[in-house]
Amino acid sequence: MTIDRRTILQAGASALALGLAPQGALAQAEAFRIGALNPVTGAGSPYGSGMAAMILAAVEEVNAAGGAGGRQLQVFADDTQTNPQSAVLAAKKLIEVNKVNAILGTWSSGVSLAVIPLVNDANILLMHTSGAPALSVPPANAKGYGYRFQATNDRFGRAFAEIAVKEGYKRPATMAFNNASGIGNTQGFKKAWEAKGNQVVAEVVYEPNQPSYRAELQRVMAARPDVIVMGSFLPDTTIILREAFQTGANVKWIIPGWAANPQLVSALGNEPTEGIISVDSVSNEQAASFARYDEAYRRKMSQPGASNVYAAMTYDMVIALALAIEAAGPGAGTAQINAKIREVSNPGGEKVFTFADGKAALKAGRKINYEGASSVLDFDEFGDVTPDFGVFFITKGKLDRRYVVKI
């Protein structure tokens, strides 16, 4: 990480020396500055360093292919501490001191909601992985500068509903961690489920960090559900599933992929986790872009790329942004670049999987469709990706993808 630290100090010094440059005005051949604003510490810390590392890796890749729109990319990294107050100060530093032209990789909804007014004022783009629905629409996204690379909680919930229908469940109950993401998932499920004319038999919202969740489980089980749909995270999922098993509860589970993962299996063992349905937005694992991302992730973090879905998203953020910059041509401002994002990522055009290929195709005058590592990156009118969802069944301790749900 020394490269960007030196760059920060250089940028700071030159900013002081040269004085203020006009906001948003991009001189010819001047570097395009990316603010990597990630949850390096705090609740998002399992993902933050990987997210930052992948932004760097993608930038290196783009620069090695000759840059975008005649410009090299430059990264300034900072830590949100997964805390809106800290994120606002960090964003101000990136915008005012480092003069970034885009901010990439905010993770928690609270952070993105606090930062998006600042990027709107500064007329720069924000690409994030947060789930809160409020980020899609005005007032947060009034200028259309916000892009969401993660499926909204709402979409997750709808996927859960499709799965429940497909698996033939009739009496679902929900359990949600008391935060925006957890509740977003279960509310999304409830809305979609009830829209089909069905009923949710019990709903429970639980607080974090309790010594036991037995009472909550009891409430849910009293309604005799056949499946429990969770909006949860790893620690509480571990506790709840363990207690469910140890009280002899006989029920099926639909759980988001970040909670029902190999760590859950290693914590609980095969028997309690057998048959759990784990749902995650499909990483484009078959795509060449995923292979590149995976290789870079292993190189920098010594872990498989699949262990950090958010890092795949930040990698894609840089590539998609760089292709848009390339398509917009030299000297383009935020608005022009913004106009090209959907053009280079959405269907219609030649599928490309790397920056170099995309750049070559653009130079030859062809329309492209970048298929990313995290998803195929098709943005709707709100700037949200519309990924497919992989449905994994935990079988003998392994996650086995049986099918894909499109919503």
Partner 1 sequence: MEAYLIAILIVTAIYVLLSLGLTLQYGLTGLINFGHVGFFCIGAYAAAILSTAGGMPIGVGLLAGMVLAGLAAIPIGLVALRLRDDYFAIVTLGFSETVRLVVTSEGWLTKGVQGIPGIPKLIDGVGTGPALTILALVGLANLLAVMAFLRIVKSPFGRMIEAIRDNEDAVKALGKDPARFKIQVLVLGAVLAGLSGGFYAHYIGYVSPDQFLPIVTFYVWMAIIMGGVGRISGALVGTLLLMGFLEGSRFLRDLLPFISAVEMASIRIGVVGLALILFTLYRPQGLMGDYTRRK
Partner 2 sequence: MAFWIELLISGVVAGLIIGLSALSITLVFGIARFPNAATGDTMTVGAYGALLGHRATNSLLVGGLTGAAAGALVGFLGYWFIFRKLAQRSNVALLVASIGLAFVLRAILGVSFGHSQQVFQLPLVRPWRIGGVPVHPNDLVLAAACAMILAIVFAILHLTPVGRRMRAVADDPALARVSGISPSGVMTVLWLLAGAVSASAGIVAGIKTVVSPEMGWDLLLPAFAAAIVGGIGSPVGAVAAGLLIGVVQELATPFVGFTYKIALSFLMMLVVLLVRPRGLFGKLEGAR
Which residues of this protein are in contact with partner 2, per CB under 8 A?
45-46, 178, 204-207, 209-212, 214-216, 218-219, 222, 234-235, 238-239, 242, 245-248, 263, 267-269, 271-272
Nearer to partner 1, 6 or 363 (CB): 6
Nearer to partner 1, 132 or 192 (CB): 132
**From the list partner 1, partner 2, none, partner contacted by residue 322 (C-beta under 5 to 8 A by kind):** none
**From the list partner 1, partner 2, none, partner contacted by residue 407 (C-beta under 5 to 8 A by kind):** none
Nearer to partner 1, 284 or 314 (CB): 314
Nearer to partner 1, 83 or 345 (CB): 83
User: What residues form DSSP beta bridges with 147?
Assistant: 127
Q: H or E element: which one contains 359?
A: helix 355-363
**Which of 339, 298, 292 minimizes the C-alpha distance to 319?**
292
The DSSP code sequence of 150-215 is: S--HHHHHHHHHHHHHHTT---EEEEEESSHHHHHHHHHHHHHHHHTT----EEEEE-SS-S--HH
Q: Report the distance separating Cα 271 and Cα 243, nearest Å.
A: 13
Q: Report the distance separating Cα 344 and Cα 364, nearest Å.
A: 14
Q: Give the Cβ contact number of residue 19 at 10 Å.
A: 7
Handedness of CA 5, 76, 289, 349 (dihedral sign): negative
**Which of 264, 266, 312 minimizes the C-alpha distance to 292?**
312
**From the list partner 2, partner 1, none, partner contacted by residue 89 (C-beta under 5 to 8 A by kind):** partner 1
CA angle 361, 59, 144 (to 5 degrees): 75
Given the rule CB under 8 A, which residues bind partner 1? 1-2, 5, 8-9, 12, 15-16, 23, 40-42, 45, 48-49, 78-79, 81, 83-86, 88-90, 92-93, 96-97, 109-110, 113-114, 117, 121-122, 132, 134, 139-140, 178-180, 183
Tokens representing 318? 């840089």
**From the list partner 2, partner 1, none, partner contacted by residue 214 (C-beta under 5 to 8 A by kind):** partner 2
Nearer to partner 1, 211 or 347 (CB): 211
Q: How far is the CB of 267 from partner 2 (least distance, A)?
A: 4
**From the list partner 2, partner 1, none, partner contacted by residue 93 (C-beta under 5 to 8 A by kind):** partner 1
Nearer to partner 1, 178 or 212 (CB): 178
48 residue type, one letter: G
Q: How far is the CB of 273 from partner 2 (least distance, A)?
A: 10
Q: How far is the CB of 41 from partner 2 (least distance, A)?
A: 9
Q: How far is the CB of 111 from partner 2 (least distance, A)?
A: 17
Q: What is the DSSP letter of 68?
A: B
Which residue has tokens 């190189």?
Answer: 299
Nearer to partner 2, 190 or 292 (CB): 190
**From the list partner 2, partner 1, none, partner contacted by residue 333 (C-beta under 5 to 8 A by kind):** none
**From the list partner 1, partner 2, none, partner contacted by residue 90 (C-beta under 5 to 8 A by kind):** partner 1
Q: How far is the CB of 154 from partner 1 (least distance, A)?
A: 13
Terminal C-alpha separation, the chain: 39
Which residue has tokens 């469910």?
Answer: 244
Which residue has tokens 């990319």?
Answer: 73
User: What residues form DSSP beta bridges with 280?
Assistant: 390
Which residue has tokens 């760590």?
Answer: 263
User: What residues form DSSP beta bridges with 277?
Assistant: 254, 393
Q: What is the DSSP letter of 134?
A: G
Nearer to partner 2, 14 or 212 (CB): 212
Q: Is the separation of the CB atoms in 174 and 186 below 8 Å?
A: yes
**From the list partner 1, partner 2, none, partner contacted by residue 357 (C-beta under 5 to 8 A by kind):** none
